[in-house]
Amino acid sequence: MNRPEIHISFAPEIRPLAAPERRAGRTALATDGSSTLGHVVESLGVPLTEVGRLLVDGRETPVSHVPRQGETVEVCAVDRPQRVPGAPLSFLLDVHLGTLARRLRLLGVDAAYESEDIGDPALASQSAAQRRVLLSRDRGLLRRREIWAGAFVYSDRPDEQLRDVLGRFAPPLAPWTRCTACNGLLTDADKEAVRERLEHGTQRTYDVFAQCTACERVYWRGAHHAQLQEIVERAMSEFGGAAV
């Protein structure tokens, strides 16, 4: 069977996802003569969610192209900020990204998340039905065809994950407007109206400022406020001006 040999290279940003022998630079690859370029790229470990332009002999080429003998393929990373069709921009995070979900919500970014594992097919169809960008560190999940849009989260550290997502998608930020527990929108709270939800010490010490319109959770400036304030200030100073 004819097995065309091509040469392929990955942009530095996405090399960590590629098979180890493909990370140094341009390498030779025998293809099967029938698989599309998209399939070839994914079979080397890189989900198409991470791929921007595909250049074949320097020309931009669709993922449906079937590589031919002697072609040189450059796999580029997605542009940053990445534009996702179908505004407003919203996200869906897999079960391993709970901390990132709460931090996105703290910044007012619409971030759906279930703490129980609903499984890859359900996540993928939720992404499609609600037009949410699926965030995951699972490459198999990101390869599912039905997802609306997706992004691999490169770091396992919440600080770096947050910077990665904010830098990549530049979502508009509106701190303190969304419930970190359920993603609902917050509204101004009247301290008298929420009195029965607060313990006595809380009433005396803390200043209630918001209540969730979905789960009715009450927010006040309390024990963790300084730490959350720091996360907000850091994000706003770096990404607050990027809102569109």
What are the residues binding Zn ion (CB under 5 A)? 179, 181-182, 184, 212, 214-215, 217
Q: In angstroms, give the least distance from the CB of 161 to Zn ion.
A: 22
Q: How far is the CB of 142 from Zn ion (least distance, A)?
A: 28
205 or 213: CB nearest Zn ion: 213
Q: In the bound complex, what is the minimum distance in angstroms from residue 217's beta carbon to Zn ion?
A: 5
Distance CA 164, CA 168 (A): 6
Q: Which is nearer to Zn ion, 119 or 222 (CB)?
A: 222
Q: How far is the CB of 210 from Zn ion (least distance, A)?
A: 10
Side chain identity at residue 48, one-letter code? L
Of 217, 123, 104, 119, give the one whose Cα is nearest residue 168: 104
Shortest gap between Cβ of 215 and Zn ion (angstroms)?
3
Q: From residue 42, how far is each of 36, 78, 184, 217 by CA, in Å?
A: 10, 15, 36, 43
Cβ-based nearer residue to Zn ion, 73 or 212: 212
Distance of closest approach, residue 180 Cβ to Zn ion, in angstroms: 8
Interaxial angle between packed helices 225-239 and 98-106, expressed in degrees from 0 to 180 and rounded to the nearest 10: 70
Beta carbon nearer to Zn ion, 136 or 211 = 211
By C-beta, is 38 or 184 nearer to Zn ion?
184
Q: What distance in Å separates the CA atoms of residue 115 and residue 118, rounded to the nearest whole number?
A: 9
Q: Between residues 49 and 90, which has the closer beta carbon with respect to Zn ion?
A: 90
- 47 prior amide bond cis, ω within 30: no
Length of the chain: 244
Closest to Zn ion by CB, 206 or 219:
219
As given in the structure block, the two tokens for residue 128 are 């499609």
Considering the complex, what minimum distance in angstroms separates the CB of residue 42 from Zn ion?
Answer: 37
